[in-house]
Every structure is written in structure tokens, then in C-alpha cells.
């Protein structure tokens, strides 16, 4: 896969989670899903507790720090595959960008009505 430019990575990594999260909420609620389900998906992926996630959303944590400080990235996140924004998630070389795209992918699956058990890659 073509590498992402350092300037693009810096820009994307600098986005505040608190500014992106409302867009995720709008996306899933528009499709009949709930914020609670969104939070469940984010917690599953990152290992944040609800209170930790709420603290991130109340602050100015950027995406890079959000993933770097995640209490425990789910080992089953490698099962998140497919295309998001025209890019195959499993082919992204840069680790933080891959985590961002994995989050985008599970939010997209939630919005599309996929069953929670499948989103959470229950075995």
C-alpha cells in the first residue's frame, strides 16, 4: 500500500477525539443505533472503561494519544478487515493509522446495522 505522507499523518493524528466522536454519534443514531452501543464498540476496541472514555471526550486528547494511551487494545481487533474510505484496513502499514481505520470500520458496521456480536468479533 502507498504510504501516507508525514504531513497527512500529523494532521490526522492531531484531531481531537472529542471533535470526531459527535460525528460518530450522529452517524449511528441516524441509522437507529445508540450512543451506548457506540461506546460499547469503542470500549471493546480500546479497553477504556466508560468513565475513562467520558474523560477523554471531556478533554482535548488527540487520536494519536487516544490510541497510545488505550488501556488494552483488543487482541481480536486483527479480525477487523475490509475497506474503509477506499483502503483495506488490514493492509495499512502505519500502526496508529490502522487503529484509526479499525475504529472507523466498526463504527461503520454499527451504523449499517450489523449485529453487535459480529462487530465485537465474538468467537
pLDDT above 90 as % of the chain: 85
And the C-alpha cell for 4?
A: 501516507
Residue 90, C-beta contacts closer than 8 angstroms, at least 6 positions apart: 78, 80, 81
And the C-alpha cell for 91?
A: 493492509
Local confidence band at 123 (pLDDT 50, 70, 90 cut-offs)? low
pLDDT attached to residue 1? 52
Instruction: List pLDDT tens digits, range 62-79.
Output: 999 999 999 999 999 999
- Measured CA to CA, the distance from residue 53 to residue 56 in angstroms comes to 5
Residue-range domains of the chain with CATH: 6-119 (1.10.8.290)
Largest CA distance in the chain: 39
Contact 101, 9 (CB under 8 A): no
- How do 87-88 and 83-84 pair as beta strands? antiparallel
Q: What is the pTM of this model?
A: 0.91
Amino acid at each position: 500500500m502507498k504510504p501516507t505522507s508525514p504531513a497527512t499523518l500529523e494532521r490526522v493524528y492531531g484531531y481531537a477525539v472529542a471533535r470526531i466522536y459527535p460525528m460518530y454519534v450522529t452517524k449511528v443514531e441516524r441509522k437507529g443505533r445508540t450512543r451506548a452501543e457506540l461506546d460499547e464498540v469503542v470500549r471493546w476496541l480500546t479497553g477504556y472503561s466508560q468513565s475513562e472514555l467520558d474523560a477523554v471526550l471531556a478533554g482535548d486528547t488527540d487520536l494519536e494519544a487516544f490510541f497510545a494511551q488505550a488501556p488494552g487494545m483488543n487482541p481480536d481487533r486483527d479480525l477487523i478487515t475490509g475497506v474503509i474510505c477506499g483502503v483495506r484496513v488490514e493492509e495499512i502499514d502505519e500502526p496508529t493509522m490502522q487503529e484509526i481505520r479499525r475504529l472507523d470500520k466498526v463504527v461503520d458496521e454499527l451504523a449499517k446495522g450489523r449485529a453487535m456480536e459480529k462487530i465485537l468479533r465474538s468467537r
